[in-house]
Structure formats: structure tokens, C-alpha cells
Amino acid sequence: MPFDHLFDLFQDDENGPLWRASFAELDEAKRHAQKLADDEGYVFFVFNCRNSSEVARLSPSPSKLRA
């Protein structure tokens, strides 16, 4: 049975990585990561479970940074 979710989404902050969600598609994972980064003000990264590598890192948009 193949993996349904190939990409894991993690929050990256001073406490270390925190798993937040899994996705089948990279583009969906990246969109969700950017939304969370903008909404919550943290850096998020997408991890490829197939080859065990980070494939995207998303920071809050400049207009969304906390004061």
C-alpha cells in the first residue's frame, strides 16, 4: 500500500520542530505552510517522507510579521 501522505508539515521555533499536518501533494503542503506562517507568525517547513529531506521553508510574509 503506497503512502497517502508523502509530505509532513512542521512548525519550527525555539522549542524545535513540531509536527502540524501531513499532505499528499507538495503544493498543498506549501500553501498550508504559508497560511500558518502568516496567521501564527512562525517559520514552517515541509519534509519529504520518501527521501527524508526538507523541501520547503516558509516564513511569515513581511506584512504579517508580529510587531
Closest CA to 42 of 19, 67, 21, 13: 13
Q: Looking at the 3D structure of the chain, how many domains does it have?
A: 1
Q: Would 54 be classed as within a structural domain?
A: yes
Q: Say yes or no to pLDDT of 30 above 90.
A: yes
Each residue's pLDDT tens digit, 3-13: 577 999 999 99
Q: How far apart are CA 2 and CA 19, in angstroms?
A: 21
Domain that holds residue 21: 7-64
pTM exceeds 0.75 for this model? yes
State the average pLDDT over residues 18-41. 96
Q: Say yes or no to pLDDT of 56 above 50.
A: yes
Give the DSSP per-residue string, the chain: ---S--EEEEEEETTEEEEEEEES-HHHHHHHHHHHHHHH--EEEEEETTTTEEEEEE---GGG---
CB neighbours of 52 closer than 8 A, spacing ≥ 6? none
Q: Would 40 be classed as within a structural domain?
A: yes
